[in-house]
Structure 1
Amino acid sequence: MNLFEDNKDWTKVLNPIIEKYSDRKHPLDYKNLYQLIIMVILSAQDSDANINKIAPSLFSTYPNLKSLTISNVDSLIPHISKVRNYSTKANWIIEIAQTLKEDQNIPMNLGDLIALKGIGRKSANVILREIKVPAEGIIADLHVIRVAPRIGLISETKDGNKVEKQLMQLLPKEIWGEIGMAISFLGREICRPTNPKCTICPIQNYCQYTLKTI
């Protein structure tokens, strides 16, 4: 069931969470585009908090892509060994560095980003949102995958690409850039997996979950 099927003014319905979170930086504590792209790759199937913890040492040793081009996987691994799937990610990072060579060559569009190893649509959408370029898709992280069906926006699926596709079909393009991260923050802070804080939710009056439980 789509709770909003008769309401076409999606911007108005979701505007409270867009306003609440649109100026909020991603939880990854990056300092520049180079750090962002590396941290996004490392954060796949891991926590932002863990990546933030290992980042200072990593970037002290490897301050830019050029420094990675003269390194290798074996040298990089000790700096990211506490990250899940660190070996695979180390290979991706070294390959990206050897491909791009310099920070200024980091692409700023979806197609070129997802052509890089270790960067899928979700990661690319996060990067594009953070650097504030026009959105070409919608962030569909684990929080969005869980929360979007719960509030009644889309049908339930665990496939992030399918979630993104449903949201892109449903929502106007002018809110693509912020709505994914807004739903993600909502899921992190209010719409928790258990004991969601429905009474303080900015969109509680439209939420399918709230209407079912009150």
Structure 2
Amino acid sequence: MDLFGNSDNWAIKLEPILTKYKGNKHPLDYHNLYQLLVMVLLSAQDSDAHINKIAPALFEAYPNMESLAVSNGDALFHQISSVRNFSTKANWLLEIAQTIQKDKNIPLTMDGLVALKGIGRKSANVIMREAKVPAEGIIADLHVIRVAPRIGLITETKDGIKAEKQLMQVLPREIWGEIGMAISFLGREICRPRPKCEECPINGVCEYFNTVFKKEPI
């Protein structure tokens, strides 16, 4: 899969985007770990922008895990009814809150997070990255799933788990915590479905840029 047909270090190749995006806050506009957990769960198959829009009213009604734990489905439905799959997500949130009870009990390990209803590896990786705890995987959101194969990092797949597994095999552990979000930001800003290749800081090592874009008629 390596563009140059050898074992060139992907960590070095991707350094420009690691430098550009390292430490950038996730686009979800959360203000604490509780809000992050709730918003990450709600954003699945929905947009970050939409979740940001409904968040202020939601967190005014439910400022912490304790307040959410004593709510019920009907009340929570009213707050998140515009969210995709809101009824299922409401039930997941209530179960999480009733299990965790307090914000301080939110787990920050992969095993602890994926044990919660509605939290898969992608969501867990986002939460752990934003909480600045050691990474146990790599964020593989829809942007990463699109961009990583285009660069030449992994083979094409629609499956986030498979994409993450491939990324973990080719990237050194010391960059796991930041590289997924860096690729995601690249996908949001530059490597969009219609990519702006000439603006890309890693176009020199990108398989698509070197094998497709350069051959397209001007």
Report the TM-score when normalising by structure 1: 0.98
Distance 1:4 1:166, change over 3 A: farther
- Following superposition, the deviation at residue 159 of structure 1 comes to 0.4
Instruction: Tell me which residue corresponds to 1:3.
Output: 3
Encode CA deviations 1:165-200: one digit per residue, 9 max, x unaligned: 000001000000000000000000000101x11111
1:30 aligns with 2:30: yes
Give distance in 2, aligned partners of 1:74 and 1:2. Answer: 52
Deviations 1:34-67 (A, max 9, x none): 0000000000000000000000000000000000
Residue 4 of structure 1 deviates from its aligned partner by 5.4
Q: Which runs of no fewer than 5 residues in structure 2 stay unpaired?
A: none
TM-fit CA distance, 1:5: 4.8
Match for residue 198 of structure 2? Answer: 199
Between the two proteins, what is the percent identity of the paired residues?
69
8 Å CA contact retained: 2:33, 2:131: yes
User: 1:5 and 1:59, CA in 2 relative to 1: closer, same or farther beyond 3 A?
Assistant: farther
Which residue is 1:60 aligned to?
60
- The aligned counterpart of 1:84 is 84
Write out per-residue CA displacement over residues 77-133 of structure 1, whole angstroms, 9 at most, x where no aligned residue.
110001000000000000000000000000011100000000000000000000110
Structure 1 consecutive aligned stretches of length 4 or more whose deviation exceeds 3 Å? none
SS of residue paired to 2:14: helix
Show the counterpart of 1:168. Answer: 168
Deviation at 1:7, TM superposition (A): 3.2
Q: Specify the alignment match of 2:118 in structure 1.
A: 118
How far apart are the structure 1 equivalents of 2:173 and 2:181? 14
The 1-side partners of 2:199 and 2:69 are apart by 48
Aligned alpha-carbon RMSD (Å): 0.9
CA contact (8 A) 2:23 2:178 kept: no
CA–CA distance in 1 between the matches of 2:3 and 2:59?
A: 46
Residue 58 of structure 1 aligns to a residue whose secondary structure is helix
Counterpart of 2:153 in 1: which secondary structure?
A: coil
Letter in 1 for 2:171: L
Residues 2, 154 of structure 1: 8 Å contact kept: no
Structure 1 distance, partners of 2:69, 2:147, is 40
- Aligned pairs (5 A) from 1:120-199: 120-194=120-194, 196-199=195-198
> Which AA in structure 2 matches 1:210?
F
Is contact 1:121–1:161 with CA below 8 Å preserved after alignment?
yes
1:168–1:5 Cα change, 3 Å: farther
